[in-house]
Structure 1
């Protein structure tokens, strides 16, 4: 997992790595089996479309909007998805997302 670290005297921050070994997988996430399979199929489809995105000049990215009160499994689902894809996770604070992205660029 990467999180935006302390800002330097120039105001720039750097992405710092944090060892995230979350045990969550789709096998243990508590949700409807059909919904799990749909998400996994969507992730597999996304992985197979990297060249298509490149060919049409689009950013190869996929987003999901997760909502709900604390403790309902949002972070566990994100960890399961990251573990499934073997992708890194970046932590952004929504109240500072524009500034964090600008300040973190190039560091």
Structure 2
């Protein structure tokens, strides 16, 4: 017994699904990066002197191969000291990532349904 299978429609459908999924992941990553940035800019724990430290916190995302990477960073040279010194009591980057990562992961569930 033999049969003939034409996989062209299947391949086309998979390619379309990949494009849509990649677009949805990009939108989700962008939204998550903006939410993380907004949270960090409004929930910092230090006393602002010039305002530069919290104003230059940036949430971005980019593709690295097939991985959407979300980044949250300080835009000042002394941001690392806010994060690591004084027993980390002025840290905002890692606490923001720790707080918002589960929410970001739950958002992926909607994309991959």
Larger RCO: 1 or 2 (CA < 8 Å, sep 6+): 1
User: By the TM > 0.5 criterion, same fold?
Assistant: no
Report the TM-score range of the alignment, normalised by the length of the smaller protein: under 0.3
TM-score, with normalisation over the residues of structure 1? 0.27
- More helix per residue: 2
TM-score, with normalisation over the residues of structure 2? 0.26
Q: Which has the larger radius of gyration?
A: 2
